[in-house]
A and B are shown apart, each in its own frame.
Chain A
Amino acid sequence: MENTTSIEIRNLIKYFHEPETFQVLKGVSFTVNKGQFLSIVGKSGSGKSTLLYVLSTMDTDYEGTLQINGELLTGKTQNQLAAFRNEHIGFVFQFHYLLPEFSALQNVMLPALKLGKLSAEEIEHKAYESLRLLDLQGQELKNAKRLSGGQQQRVAIARALINSPSVIMGDEPTGNLDTKNSKAVQDIFKQLAHEYGQTIICVTHDPDFANNTDKIIEMKDGLIV
């Protein structure tokens, strides 16, 4: 049978040691299938962002195991994980985090230039495409620091899509968007999941967003309920 598992975590435990030792994740396990559009909901402080950072491979200080596309990522070096992220994971941070001195276009192109699989012209073309899809025509050459909060968030989404990663993660990716733009992003995510088989995991506080996804995971005090 074809392997359809995209992400698999087993018994994830995470502590913070500052200001005092405190268990944030208390043994979280689940699997996500390829092409699934998943949302994580829960009260503020329940550990959603923390979980997403572990899933994104950036946080390596945890107990338990993480597998993406059948590859065990627990225990790999920072540089191995960086290369893996570059190719397989697109990430939209809770606070948008663009490079302020680079144009919107350059921000979107960076991960693809790093990956180096396409020529600069092809990448540029692709970047223009995704910016247009996110209603950012005419903003491409503006410096990121001159864009509004919602525009920045959409640039960050375009950047997460540029390498066609097998997994896209978002920490409240539509938190700063109006209903119309939020709906557009949801549609894009849905299409990517269902037509191109990309796995999407989003943390959200928006019930409409959550209801629009294939599966909802609810977190409470570091556990899935």
Chain B
Amino acid sequence: MLKSNNIQIAKVHLTSKIWQTFVAVLGVTFGVSMYIFMNSFMNGVNKAQDDLAFRALAHVRIYNQDNKNDYNPIESQFDLSKTIINILNRKNIQYTSGLKNSSAIVSLVKKQPEVVAVSRQVNSSVFFRSGSKQVNGVVSGVELKSEDELYNTSLTVIQGEWNNLLKYKTGIILGKLLAERLGLQINNSINVLTSEGVSKNYIVVGIFESNLKTMDETKAYLNIMAARQLVGESSDYASDIMVNIKEKENTANYIQKIAPLVPFQVESWQEANEQLVAGSELRNIIAVAVSLTILLVAGFGIYNIMTMTINEKIKEIAILKALGFSGSDIMTIFITQAAVIGIFGALVGVILGYGISLLINMIPFTIAGMDTLPIFFQTKDFLFAVVFGILTTLIAGYLPSIKASKIDPVIIIRG
């Protein structure tokens, strides 16, 4: 009864100056919709960037390379302060890189529940030769099915087919720019020369375009068996094992579990690509900073409007108090108004933000494999926008209503 009375008064205030209410609602709507749009756009950009990057990047990479150059058997045996050591012409013995028994590691790695796909690769730097042209690059021997699970590589093949590598033992799939530089087309033959001096001929059975320039310029795919033959390794050899897990952000957790079991280097994509992580973090910071500023400015607008309303109604507040309304009744009246403005503004803001984002998503933008400007919606952005929008309005209404609740009626009524 008592409460509904105050709410009734709030309603009269809101509806009697409908234009003012509308402007206040508009302030919240603007803040909330810009927040949603900014964040959805930044998410879209991040996602497009990730999609592009993860065409060539696995979440976790297991490999075996010589990176211990500091091993010194003599110095570790003697007390340095009392011994003078002079080693002449020191040389490292050959280090066996690559994984000889890769299937054992694959089955070990696959046991974790969060693993989505595992693929073995045999990577090697080579010279591609066609007639008088010679280009250096990388051949990647891959397990066709799991490689496709990992990167959706089959989708990037623009001529020929991904599975041609299974059908033709001497088949090779070239990057688009690489094929152009060598002047090669489908069904042409190409010579590959390894750093060990092995030379072999292959038939171009496909051409891919990943939209990553370095990849399209230098990379070629072989079947993993063909690649093992090329580098002269046994049938269980792999140079890299690539693993994708469910949540790409959770690599640290996964690596912690498998690193002790695998006697090789285990590297997350974050370690290998710090610039990628930094880029998306920075974009997120910008998005949050800009949208919080917008909400804050909207908050000030609401604060102003609420202060104005209360100053305008100061006489009415005095009358209500003279009639026996308490300070908390007055606060209820004005906070109710703020809440209505906040809730209404936030809801309209959600719809508007969603609409603006959809519109932006239709603007053509054809760079790096995109068709339109990217937008990616996340429930948490919508929730946060609504909560923050309502909260700002409540705070903006709360401060002036404290002032209103403290008005001394007799001063106003005496005139």
Question: Which residues A145-171 have CB closer than 8 A to chain B?
Answer: 159
In the bound complex, residues from chain A placing their C-beta under 8 Å from that of B409 are 58
B321 located at the interface, meaning its Cβ lies under 8 Å from any Cβ of chain A in the complex: yes
Is the Cβ of B323 less than 8 Å from the Cβ of A101? no
In the bound complex, residues from chain B placing their C-beta under 8 Å from that of A84 are 324
B47 located at the interface, meaning its Cβ lies under 8 Å from any Cβ of chain A in the complex: no
**Given contacts A97-B413, A102-B12, are A82 and B321 in contact (CB under 8 A)?**
yes
Is the Cβ of B410 less than 8 Å from the Cβ of A86? no
Total contacts A-B at CB 8 Å: 74
Q: Which A positions have Cβ atoms within 8 angstroms of B?
A: 49, 53, 56, 58-59, 78-79, 82-87, 91, 93, 95, 97-102, 106, 110-111, 113-116, 120, 159
Is the Cβ of B12 less than 8 Å from the Cβ of A85? no
Is the Cβ of B2 less than 8 Å from the Cβ of A82? no
Across the interface, name the chain A residue whose C-beta is closest to B412: A97
Is the Cβ of B13 less than 8 Å from the Cβ of A86? no
Interchain nearest-CB distance for B325 vs A (Å): 6
Interchain nearest-CB distance for B255 vs A (Å): 63
B329 located at the interface, meaning its Cβ lies under 8 Å from any Cβ of chain A in the complex: yes
Q: When each residue 315-331 of chain B gets 1 if its CB lies under 8 Å from chain A and 0 otherwise, what string results?
A: 11001111111111100
**Could you give 19 example pairs across A and B, Cβ below 8 Å?**
A58-B321, A78-B326, A78-B327, A83-B326, A85-B324, A91-B323, A93-B413, A97-B319, A97-B322, A99-B319, A99-B320, A101-B16, A110-B323, A113-B1, A113-B2, A113-B5, A114-B2, A115-B324, A159-B323
B133 located at the interface, meaning its Cβ lies under 8 Å from any Cβ of chain A in the complex: no
Question: Which residues B334-391 have CB closer than 8 A to chain A?
Answer: none
B111 located at the interface, meaning its Cβ lies under 8 Å from any Cβ of chain A in the complex: no
* Separation of A115 and B414 alpha carbons in the complex (Å): 25
B415 located at the interface, meaning its Cβ lies under 8 Å from any Cβ of chain A in the complex: yes
**Given contacts A58-B413, A59-B410, A101-B13, are A114 and B322 in contact (CB under 8 A)?**
no
Interface size on B, residues (CB 8 A): 27
Interchain nearest-CB distance for A7 vs B (Å): 18
Q: When each residue 290-334 of chain B gets 1 if its CB lies under 8 Å from chain A and 0 otherwise, what string results?
A: 000000000000000000000000011001111111111100000
Is the Cβ of B324 less than 8 Å from the Cβ of A49? no
* Separation of A87 and B326 alpha carbons in the complex (Å): 13
Across the interface, name the chain B residue whose C-beta is closest to A86: B324
Interface of chain B, helix or strand or loop or mixed?
A: helix
- 4 A-B pairs with least C-beta separation: A86-B324, A101-B16, A113-B5, A58-B410
* Separation of A78 and B410 alpha carbons in the complex (Å): 11
* Separation of A82 and B321 alpha carbons in the complex (Å): 7
Is the Cβ of B5 less than 8 Å from the Cβ of A85? no
In the bound complex, residues from chain B placing their C-beta under 8 Å from that of A49 are 414
* Separation of A99 and B316 alpha carbons in the complex (Å): 6
Is the Cβ of A85 less than 8 Å from the Cβ of B415? no
In the bound complex, residues from chain A placing their C-beta under 8 Å from that of B327 are 78-79, 82
Across the interface, name the chain A residue whose C-beta is closest to B329: A114
* Separation of A95 and B329 alpha carbons in the complex (Å): 24
* Separation of A95 and B413 alpha carbons in the complex (Å): 8
Across the interface, name the chain B residue whose C-beta is closest to A16: B414
Across the interface, name the chain B residue whose C-beta is closest to A117: B1
* Separation of A49 and B16 alpha carbons in the complex (Å): 32
In the bound complex, residues from chain A placing their C-beta under 8 Å from that of B321 are 58, 78, 82
Is the Cβ of B326 less than 8 Å from the Cβ of A82? yes
Is the Cβ of B12 less than 8 Å from the Cβ of A111? no
Is the Cβ of A116 less than 8 Å from the Cβ of B2? yes
* Separation of A91 and B8 alpha carbons in the complex (Å): 23
In the bound complex, residues from chain B placing their C-beta under 8 Å from that of A116 are 1-2, 5
Q: Which of B320, B323, B409 has the most CB of A within 10 A?
A: B323
Question: Which residues B249-301 have CB closer than 8 A to chain A?
Answer: none
In the bound complex, residues from chain B placing their C-beta under 8 Å from that of A114 are 2, 5, 323-325, 329
**Given contacts A49-B414, A101-B13, are A86 and B323 in contact (CB under 8 A)?**
yes
* Separation of A111 and B2 alpha carbons in the complex (Å): 10
In the bound complex, residues from chain A placing their C-beta under 8 Å from that of B12 are 101-102, 106
Is the Cβ of A82 less than 8 Å from the Cβ of B410? no
* Separation of A49 and B324 alpha carbons in the complex (Å): 19
Identify A91's interface contact among B1, B322, B328, CB under 8 A: B322
Q: When each residue 41-66 of chain B gets 1 if its CB lies under 8 Å from chain A and 0 otherwise, what string results?
A: 00000000000000000000000000
Across the interface, name the chain B residue whose C-beta is closest to A111: B323
Is the Cβ of B325 less than 8 Å from the Cβ of A82? yes
**Given contacts A53-B410, A99-B319, are A110 and B5 in contact (CB under 8 A)?**
yes
